[in-house]
Amino acid sequence: MDKKIINDKLRPEYEIKLARLFYVRVNLFCYIAIFAFLVELLAGFTFFRKFLSTKDIPGIAGGLFFSLLLIATGRLSSSLSLQKIRAAFFSLLLTLIAVLAGPAHPDVMPYMGITLVVIAFFTSTLLLPWGAAETAFIGAFAFASYILVYHATASFANASIAGISSILLAVSISVGVLVKKSEQILRQKDFASRKEVEEKNAVMMKELELARKIQKTIIPHSVKTELADIAVTYLPMFYMGGDYAKFSIVDKDKLMFILADVTGHGVSSALLVNRLHTEIERLMREKAMPGDLLRSLDRFINEDFGKMGIYLSAFCGLLDFSKKQLIYSNHGHPPQILVQSRNNSIVLMDSQTFFMGIGMAEEQVYNTNVGFERGDRIILFTDGITEAKDAKGQLFGYERLERFVRQNAALDAAAFNEKLVQEIKAFETGGQSDDIFLLTVQTK
């Protein structure tokens, strides 16, 4: 192994993978050899008995025995040394069988014996992960065995054929050595590259996990107050997402909340959410009305991110419990739901203007008043709910959502969220296709 490619730290793991490759390849060849020997015996005794010589029986029996022996010894150790010994035994045995086939069939093999030897050499070396030096050793064994056996048994047809065969075998060995040298280098480079990618991925996954934990700190938790029970459910499509929500008690009898959905998914959207979090916190302390807050947020996005092509929808609401009024502003967000407890009816709070961040010169402030009673429920969500798709591409949609809301009005806020998410997951058979944020406010 080249230390410049595989360093000492990676060497043990590389050897384990190489040993595993030797183990699998040798076993595969042994199974093929067993099958071939059995087919040869069956065909010889059934259809070609006159071609099956008694000289072939010891070779077939020996091949079967040693193939089974190699398979049995493969599990004795996972070390690279043992697996190489098994592979070497297989390679040398296969080469020797091909060499000895000539003397066993002197009427045919002098003309084609070299073909069998070359095939055996390439099979035993190119299909096993040998290095160049090991391939050269097996080639030398094949060449020496071929010359000695054919010379001792006078199996050559004539000197010319012997010379040509020897040259052909020598060239084949040289080609095999060059191929295995290149393959060895490529195999080591591939391993080193894979490990480098794995290490970088591991670092990136740690960074993503840390970023996910950081973003999780800005996502509000479910709480129960004297004014309302608030249940929060957040399911990003990836590690992080572009959905965001925040709520705050104002002047003891008012509850302000905002839900936003940044276009896109993943890290880029999450980074913008983290940046918006600080600005939204500041605006919630300064702005008394939802419309003013969203208009100021829109200006902030246009000024700081206007050239980046980042847009978001947002819904901001203020529950005034003393006046029993819900004041809301909706900038490009899907219609949110107010469930009136007295008759279980649904009021949709539609969008009043465009997405935020598109650079509109409009400065109009949108505030809409809706009356509410204690016991009413507000359901805020991102489009990951209504745009969930089933296997046929059908959307979950508002009709299913409104039906679910009416059928589960008796559930408390946390149980309602949990059941709705289960419903979405059961509907979205192809897996989650968007971030999901669900914020349910149950007034008291």
Half-sphere exposure of residue 341: CA atoms within 13 angstroms, side-chain side: 14
Q: How far apart are CA 297 and CA 276, in angstroms?
A: 8
pLDDT at 189: 92
pLDDT at 265: 74
Cα 429 to Cα 36, 38, 367, 394, distances in angstroms:
48, 50, 39, 11
pLDDT at 1: 43
pLDDT at 292: 95
How does pLDDT run across 82-108, given as a tens digit for each residue?
Answer: 999 999 998 998 888 888 776 766 665
Q: Which residue has the tokens 């991102």?
A: 382
pLDDT at 361: 61
Q: Does 2 have pLDDT greater than 50? A: no
pLDDT at 47: 63
Better pLDDT: 41 or 374: 374
Q: Does 286 have pLDDT greater than 60? A: yes
How does pLDDT run across 125-145, given as a tens digit for each residue?
Answer: 888 999 999 999 999 999 998
Q: Does 57 have pLDDT greater than 90? A: no
Contacts of 301 (CB under 8 A, 6+ apart): 276, 310, 312, 356, 357
Average pLDDT over residues 397-416: 96
Band of the pLDDT at 243, cuts 50, 70, 90?
Answer: very high
Q: Does 320 have pLDDT greater than 50? A: yes
Give the percent of the chain with pLDDT over 70: 91
Q: Does 54 have pLDDT greater than 60? A: no
Other C-beta atoms closer than 10 Å to the C-beta of 38 total 12
Q: Does 25 have pLDDT greater than 70? A: yes
Radius of gyration of the chain (CA): 38
How does pLDDT run across 173-182, given as a tens digit for each residue?
Answer: 999 999 999 9
Q: Which residue has the tokens 């050793």?
A: 137
- The 8-class DSSP code of residue 435 comes to -
Task: Output the six-digit token pair for 164.
Answer: 């040509």
Nearest Cα residue to 113 out of 144, 50, 156: 156
Q: How far apart are CA 425 and CA 390, in angstroms?
A: 9
Task: Output the six-digit token pair for 81.
Answer: 């040394």
Q: Does 153 have pLDDT greater than 90? A: no
How does pLDDT run across 249-276, given as a tens digit for each residue?
Answer: 998 899 999 999 998 777 778 888 988 9
Task: Output the six-digit token pair for 316.
Answer: 């901001």
Q: How far apart are CA 293 and CA 308, in angstroms?
A: 22
Q: How far apart are CA 212 and CA 71, in angstroms?
A: 49
Better pLDDT: 173 or 63: 173
Q: Does 9 have pLDDT greater than 80? A: yes
Q: How far apart are CA 227 and CA 50, in angstroms?
A: 100
- What is the layout of strands, in order, in the sheet containing 436-443? 223-224, 228-235, 436-443, 377-381, 336-340, 345-349
Q: Does 44 have pLDDT greater than 80? A: no
Domains and CATH numbers, the chain: 11-201 (no CATH), 218-443 (3.60.40.10)
How does pLDDT run across 194-227, given as a tens digit for each residue?
Answer: 999 999 999 988 888 887 888 888 999 999 999 9
Contacts of 203 (CB under 8 A, 6+ apart): none
**Cα of 233 vs its chain's centroid, Å:** 26
Q: Does 7 have pLDDT greater than 60? A: yes
pTM, full prediction: 0.66
pLDDT at 19: 94
